[in-house]
Amino acid sequence: MKKEFIDLQVKRTRRNIIIFLALLILFTILITFKRGLGFMIGGILLFAFIMHPVRFVTSLKNFKMHSVNKAISVYGRFYEVEQKINNELLKENSVQYGNVIITDSWILKINTFSLDIINLADVVWVYNDVTLHEQGAIIPGAAIPAGEMGKTFAIIINSKNPIRPTTRISISHFSNMDDSKEAELAGIEKKQRMWNILGELQRRCPHAIFGYTKELDKMWKVDKNRFIEEVKLGAMR
């Protein structure tokens, strides 16, 4: 992993935002020619609602407002934290699973328009989640029962991070879209990736709570501060 990882993430997210903005503008122009002025105004309003243009342009010009900078600033001065992260990424015991990198002290989740950063010491509760996706159809005189389209394997990380207290690491697999042997193996690999991430976090975060219960979920939603304090004191073990 390159030493300038954080700098590359800043450039990557800016590039993706600019590409998205350009595509949105082209789409608005196309709609204008095809559908008329009313659709153009609708497209402009949609753009304003989604992107907040003034804030977007300002964030591109002002480094301090960049999403990656904001994520890092939670843990101290930008350049000091950046150097710590870059140094750990050079170590052999840093691991990567898809868009997730885990080092001695950090979880880094690479998103299309941002970078999630969580210090391992801030992790308080982790559990796995499997979501089944189904699709059915209704035709006159008959109903076709729902069938499995695929599954999303996920790791839910709850932490003391004030910007993103809950982070979801999702790995989707659509099993009925392709019944080939390759697709089956891909599904097994994706499920294993979820377990690998969970195992890595259990090894590096022995202070945290692992596993889901309705009681823990209710407590986290009702009073995060109490949850965090009880984990800190070891009262929930």
Residue-wise pLDDT for 42-91, tens only, equals 666 565 555 555 455 555 544 444 678 888 989 999 889 999 999 999 98
Threshold 0.85, pTM exceeds? no
In degrees and rounded to multiples of 5, residue 171 shows phi and psi of: -135, 105
Domain ranges of the chain: 66-233
Nearest by Cα to 68 from 122, 15, 125, 121: 15
Q: What is the pLDDT of residue 103?
A: 95
| 173-192: average pLDDT | 69
Write b or e for each residue in 151-163: b if 16 or more Cβ atoms lie within 10 A of its Cβ, otherwise e. Answer: bbbbbbbbbbbee
Span 152-166, average pLDDT: 91
Is 173 a residue whose pLDDT tops 70? no
Phi, psi of 47 (to 5 degrees): -60, -45
Cα separation, 206 vs 196, in Å, equals 16
Residue that the structure tokens 């977007």 belong to = 56
Residue 223: strand, helix, or coil: coil
Spatial separation of the C-alpha atoms in residues 27 and 102, rounded to whole Å = 38
The C-alpha atoms of residue 56 and residue 73 are separated, in whole angstroms, by 19
* 11-15, 61-65, 195-199: range with lowest mean pLDDT: 61-65
Q: What per-residue confidence (pLDDT) applies to 44?
A: 61
- Does position 204 have pLDDT exceeding 90, yes or no? yes
